[in-house]
């Protein structure tokens, strides 16, 4: 299903779409205020980008260094080529120890690998302990956002869900009361869990340790109470030195939720006394991206979600419309690399406004990469024929100024005089949710030629300066 088709239901709910849009823009605004408080913000972004690019250039070397140091600390390191191998390793560890209950902190990698359905199909109980992830798990949904998994759910709906599942008071929307009920229920799950699974935010090659960032402390409980801790880590989470970590911790929370730092930044160096620590390093298509010079920098991503919070398409269409674990601009770059045919519509879910590139803390040129994907899809003839034909026509018009001017005149005439049904009908899905702008009284070219507006003042200024010089 294409992104546009999948988004139709969300977009049709006008109140939810507007509320979703405002909620995410509020987070984006918090990010801006937080970033502006740091004079060195742009220097941090540049530093983080360079560290990630350097790591990518020596990925194999740093991965082996991380493995050596992690093993020296007492951890067991596993290597998984794909999602199936990752799931087989995790299930094998649990099966060998006869474990039936697992508590899991937020991990987009385990979502990407489909770990929960696999373990549940084997009869294990898996509880997502991040509040947002637990809410979507209870609703039998996938996260719609990588940092705020339940951002698409209103608190009235959470109240109804908790009343049904936990027996809270019907109709309650009191946030403190609902969070308290969730805390009590999840605490019993933590105490009953016999294995904890976490993700990894940053792994340090120099030390063999890794860091997990949360705002709820659920990863700490999940990793500390059970004897077995399994950490699932994409190979791109690597950084070379401990000295690099501070750069990324300062960028992550500010970019994600507009807060100076996550409430918990937990460091793990080997297993706890008497416990086991297993680290599963997962490739699952990342090496393929690493080999692609044009898309390699997408591996810089630290999963802050800033590109989603600012993206006008994501904010108005919701995360589920992308049909992938990591939605938004970064997901639209990552997933076509795995299956071009299945995800061919994602690079078109973009207005190329460039806002994602502007806010990315590691300076991934997202909108350029999305444009590159469109070219690749056209060349591979994966883009539908009618879109390729339309782009060919537009390209021909844009290459001929006289034809462009003629097309503009015809377009303005049509905007003024053609009957409304000709544009807004069942055969034109574009018009179902959009209104064409009124035809301009003057073209930009005419205004430019007449010297009207700021351009004229600037041109006048240049002329005057040139006269002085003369």
* Helix axis angle, 385-398 to 401-417, nearest 10°: 110
| Band of residue 454 on the pLDDT scale cut at 50, 70, 90 | low
The residue among 327 and 415 whose pLDDT is bigger is: 327
Query: Above 70 in pLDDT, residue 465?
Result: no
- The alpha-carbon radius of gyration of the chain (Å, integer) is 26
CA distance 111 to 38: 34
363: Cβ contacts below 8 Å, ≥ 6 apart: 45, 46, 48, 49, 297, 300, 357
Strand order in the sheet with 101-104: 76-80, 276-282, 228-234, 195-198, 101-104, 125-128
For residue range 245-303, list pLDDT tens digits in order. Answer: 999 999 999 999 999 999 999 999 999 999 999 999 999 999 999 998 888 999 999 99
| Band of residue 453 on the pLDDT scale cut at 50, 70, 90 | low
What pLDDT does 199 receive?
Answer: 94
CA distance 231 to 197: 6
* Helix and strand totals (H; E) in the chain: 23, 10
CA distance 109 to 279: 13
* Residue range 21-43: mean pLDDT, rounded: 95
Query: Above 60 in pLDDT, residue 377?
Result: yes
Point out which residues pair with 268 in neighbouring strands.
210
What pLDDT does 189 receive?
Answer: 86
What pLDDT does 418 receive?
Answer: 85
* Residue range 440-448: mean pLDDT, rounded: 83
- Which has the minimum average pLDDT: 135-144, 237-246, 382-391? 382-391
Specify whether the CB–CB gap between 126 and 232 falls below 8 A.
no
Query: Above 80 in pLDDT, residue 232?
Result: yes
Specify whether the CB–CB gap between 142 and 323 falls below 8 A.
no
Set out the domains of the chain in order of their start, with CATH numbers.
38-284 (3.40.50.10420), 299-382 (no CATH), 386-450 (no CATH)
Percentage with pLDDT > 90 across the chain: 69
The strand ranges marked E within 263-390 are 264-268, 276-282
What pLDDT does 241 receive?
Answer: 96
What pLDDT does 461 receive?
Answer: 40
The residue among 455 and 178 whose pLDDT is bigger is: 178
Rounded (to 5) percent helix, strand, coil in the chain: 60, 10, 30
Q: What is the 3-state secondary structure (H, E, C) of 36-65?
A: HCCCCHHHHHHHHHHHHHHHHHCHHHHHHH
Specify whether the CB–CB gap between 333 and 370 falls below 8 A.
yes
Query: Above 50 in pLDDT, residue 466?
Result: no
* Residue range 366-377: mean pLDDT, rounded: 93
What pLDDT does 224 receive?
Answer: 87
Query: Above 50 in pLDDT, residue 459?
Result: no
Percentage with pLDDT > 70 across the chain: 96
């Amino acid at each position: 299903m294409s992104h546009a088709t999948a988004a139709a239901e969300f977009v049709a709910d006008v109140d939810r779409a507007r509320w979703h849009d405002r909620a995410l823009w509020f987070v984006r605004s918090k990010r801006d205020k937080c970033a502006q408080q740091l004079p060195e913000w742009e220097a941090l972004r540049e530093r983080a980008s360079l560290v990630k690019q350097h790591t990518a250039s020596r990925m194999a070397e740093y991965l082996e260094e991380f493995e050596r140091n992690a093993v020296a600390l007492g951890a067991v390191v596993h290597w998984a080529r794909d999602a199936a191998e990752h799931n087989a390793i995790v299930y094998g560890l649990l099966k060998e120890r006869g474990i039936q209950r697992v508590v899991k902190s937020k991990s987009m990698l385990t979502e990407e690998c489909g770990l929960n359905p696999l373990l549940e199909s084997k009869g294990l109980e898996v509880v997502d302990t991040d509040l947002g992830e637990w809410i979507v798990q209870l609703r039998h949904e996938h996260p719609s956002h990588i940092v705020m998994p339940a951002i698409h759910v209103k608190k009235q709906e959470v109240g109804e869900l908790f009343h049904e599942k936990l027996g809270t008071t019907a109709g309650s929307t009191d946030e403190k009361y609902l969070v308290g009920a969730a805390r009590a229920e999840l605490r019993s799950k933590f105490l009953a869990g016999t294995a904890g699974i976490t993700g990894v935010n940053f792994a340090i090659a120099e030390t063999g340790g890794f860091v997990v960032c949360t705002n709820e402390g659920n990863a700490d409980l999940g990793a500390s109470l059970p004897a077995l801790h399994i950490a699932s880590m994409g190979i791109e989470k690597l950084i070379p030195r401990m000295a690099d970590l501070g750069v990324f911790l300062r960028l992550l929370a500010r970019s994600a939720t507009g807060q100076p730092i996550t409430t918990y930044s937990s460091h793990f160096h080997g297993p706890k006394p008497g416990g086991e620590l297993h680290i599963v390093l997962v490739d699952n298509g990342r090496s393929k991206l690493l080999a692609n010079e044009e898309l390699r920098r997408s591996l810089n991503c630290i999963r802050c979600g800033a590109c989603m919070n600012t993206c006008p398409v994501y904010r108005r269409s919701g995360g589920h419309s992308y049909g992938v674990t990591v939605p938004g601009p970064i997901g639209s770059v990552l997933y076509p690399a795995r299956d071009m045919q299945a995800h061919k519509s994602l690079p078109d879910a973009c207005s190329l406004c460039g806002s994602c590139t502007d806010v990315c803390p590691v300076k991934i040129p997202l909108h350029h990469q999305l444009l590159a994907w469109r070219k690749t899809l056209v060349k591979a003839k994966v883009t539908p024929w009618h879109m390729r034909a339309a782009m060919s026509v537009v390209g021909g018009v844009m290459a001929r100024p006289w034809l462009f001017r003629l097309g503009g005149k015809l377009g303005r005439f049509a905007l003024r005089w053609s009957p409304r049904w000709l544009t807004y009908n069942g055969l034109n899905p574009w018009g179902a949710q959009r209104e064409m702008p009124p035809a301009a009284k003057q073209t930009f070219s005419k205004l430019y030629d007449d010297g009207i507006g700021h351009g004229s003042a600037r041109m006048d200024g240049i002329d005057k300066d040139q006269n002085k010089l003369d």
